[in-house]
């Protein structure tokens, strides 16, 4: 049986900062004179009998294969998404204006509204992080991802490898090869992003947010703030990788093709050569199925079976008008931030968003009804019934 090495070029590059065998070096398509990474051991591969299957090579990077290998390139159906950071951009607002045009105001509104309603801080953890803080943030992100994908009723591949990611990221952060970016509300993380860093490439790999703050567009906020950091730190690429999501399409100014390369030594035996050809047909066939979206049917069935008996994680509630201000005198004002009232956070945050008010102005009254509350900001009132 012939040897076959399967590699994911994309994650080899950003996670391990190596290039997949048997590539000699890689360059950027716009700067072919500058070698980004080289592989000094590629000649040793000639001793191994078989071939190499290297998926997810972005077309903006050009691989130079060892001269003793012949290759076959197959375009993948799924595309990649990234932001090219031109020298013209001196701040994130320059990019937002160029990319979103008339809708740029909507992106900025999310940031302003979040900062208007809460005490918000942003922190980029890079170069150094304590083990205690690392553990706390990693667990917070895991819970956010878990709830987000239960809400979407989709299986998340990164959660399936969470233990492996937990083991590697601490060292990567302390070696400046990765970062954790956090949005804090009054010291509490409400949105977290794990990122790989390779040269002037910043790869926003895993991100999620607290569903109680979903009204504030935290997905846009976290990209906005990280992109601003990248611009001010002279990064050239803000990478978002694979996965066809609406937010990636809207933010990206570079949507690129991913290629799957097969490589085999030119002097290979018949068995290896036949296996190489069969592998090529198999990959082309599966990419054809993806182009017909048959993989989506399979994924939908798998997701439905996985979440068959899963309850909705989002708080369900209804708003009703309230105008009996005098009745409030007989009601108790509660400390809504206690654990007993966690289900109130989503309707409270939605109320703050709608009224553009800071949470310090909010009062929450408990009515005699067990699941009924009155939200009040100055002369604005809303009755909330938790379902």
Whichever domain contains 225, its CATH number is 3.40.630.30
Residue 1 in this model has a pLDDT that exceeds 50: no
Provide CB contacts within 8 A for 376, sequence distance 6+: 328, 362, 363, 364, 365, 382
Band the pLDDT of 309: cuts 50, 70, 90.
Answer: low
Do 229 and 263 lie in one domain? The reply is: no
* Mean pLDDT, residues 19-39 taken together: 92
**What pLDDT does residue 151 have?**
86
Q: Is the pLDDT of residue 299 over 60?
A: yes
Looking at the domain assignment, is residue 91 inside a domain?
yes
Q: Is 363 left (phi over 0), alpha (psi -120 to 50) or beta?
A: beta
214 and 136 part of one domain: yes
Looking at residue 48, its pLDDT comes to 59
Q: Residue 242 falls within a domain, yes or no?
A: no
> Is the per-residue pLDDT at 331 higher than 70?
yes
The 10s digit of each residue's pLDDT in 227-256 is 999 999 999 999 999 888 899 999 999 999
Domain that holds residue 163: 86-235
- Residue pair 218/190 in contact (Cβ under 8 Å)? The answer is yes
Check: CB of residue 250 under 8 Å from CB of residue 267: no
User: 286 with 76: CB under 8 angstroms?
Assistant: no
Residues 60 and 145 placed together within one structural domain of the fold:
no
Do 174 and 69 share a domain, yes or no?
no
**Domain co-membership, 90 together with 231:** yes
Structure confidence at residue 47 as a pLDDT band (50, 70, 90)? low
DSSP string, 17-77: ----TTEEEEEETTEEEEEEEE-TTGGGGGGS-EEEEEEEEETTEEEEE-TTEEEEEEEEE
Predicted local confidence at residue 294, as pLDDT: 75
Tokens of 356: 């553009």
Statement to judge: residues 93 and 151 lie in one domain: yes
CA 226 to CA 230: how far, in whole Å? 6
Q: Does residue 303 fall inside a structural domain?
A: no
**Is residue 181 situated within a structural domain?**
yes
DSSP 264: E
The model's confidence at residue 306, banded by pLDDT at 50, 70 and 90, is low
- The confidence score (pLDDT) of residue 152 equals 80
| Domain co-membership, 153 together with 231 | yes
Number of domains forming the structure of the chain: 3
Mean pLDDT, rounded, for 178-201:
97
Residue 244 lies in a domain: no
User: For residue 221, what pLDDT is reported?
Assistant: 97
Domain presence at residue 310: no
Buried b (16+ CB within 10 A) or exposed e, 178-202: bbbbbbbbeeebbbbbbbbbbeebb
Residue 301 lies in a domain: no
First-to-last CA distance in the chain?
61
pLDDT at residue 4, rounded to an integer:
82
Report the percent of the chain where pLDDT is more than 70: 93
Alpha carbon separation from 243 to 173, 207, 272 (Å, rounded): 24, 13, 33
Taking all residues of the chain, what is their mean pLDDT, rounded to a whole number?
Answer: 91
- pTM of the predicted model, to two decimals? 0.91
321 belongs to a structural domain: yes
Taking only the tens place, the pLDDT of each residue in 135-154 is: 999 999 999 999 998 888 88
């Amino acid at each position: 049986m012939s040897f076959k090495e399967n590699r994911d070029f994309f994650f080899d590059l950003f996670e391990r900062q190596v290039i997949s065998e048997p590539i000699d070096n890689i360059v950027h398509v716009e700067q072919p004179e500058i070698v980004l990474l080289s592989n000094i051991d590629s000649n040793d591969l000639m001793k191994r009998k078989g071939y190499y299957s290297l998926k997810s090579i972005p077309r903006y990077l050009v691989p130079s294969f060892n001269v003793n290998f012949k290759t076959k390139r197959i375009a993948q159906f799924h595309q990649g998404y990234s932001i090219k950071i031109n020298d013209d951009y001196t701040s994130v607002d320059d990019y937002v204006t160029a990319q979103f045009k008339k809708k740029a105001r909507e992106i900025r509104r999310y940031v302003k509204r979040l900062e208007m309603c809460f005490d918000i801080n942003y922190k980029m953890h890079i170069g150094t992080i304590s083990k205690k803080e690392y553990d706390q943030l990693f667990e917070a992100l895991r819970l956010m991802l878990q709830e987000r994908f239960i809400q979407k009723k989709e299986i998340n591949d990164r959660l399936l490898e969470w233990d492996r990611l937990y083991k590697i990221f601490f060292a990567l952060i302390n070696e400046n090869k990765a970062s954790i970016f956090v949005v804090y509300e009054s010291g509490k993380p409400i949105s977290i992003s794990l990122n790989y860093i390779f040269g002037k490439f910043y790869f926003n790999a895993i991100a999620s947010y607290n569903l109680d703050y979903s009204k504030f567009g935290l997905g846009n906020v976290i990209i906005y703030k990280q992109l601003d950091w990248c611009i001010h730190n002279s990064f050239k690429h803000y990478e978002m990788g694979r996965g066809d999501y609406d937010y990636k399409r809207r933010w990206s100014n570079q949507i690129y093709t991913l290629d799957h390369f097969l490589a085999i030594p030119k002097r290979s035996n018949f068995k290896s050569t036949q296996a190489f050809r069969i592998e090529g047909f198999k990959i082309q066939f599966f990419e054809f199925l993806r182009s017909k979206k048959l993989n989506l049917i399979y994924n939908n069935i798998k997701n439905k079976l996985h979440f068959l008996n899963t309850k909705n994680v989002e708080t369900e509630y209804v708003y009703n008008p309230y105008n009996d201000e005098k009745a409030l005198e007989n009601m108790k004002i509660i400390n809504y931030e206690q654990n007993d009232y966690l289900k109130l956070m989503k309707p409270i945050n939605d109320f703050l968003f709608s009224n553009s008010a800071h949470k310090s102005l909010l009062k929450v009254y408990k009515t005699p009804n067990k699941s009924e509350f009155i939200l009040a900001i100055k002369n604005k009132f809303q009755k909330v019934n938790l379902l």
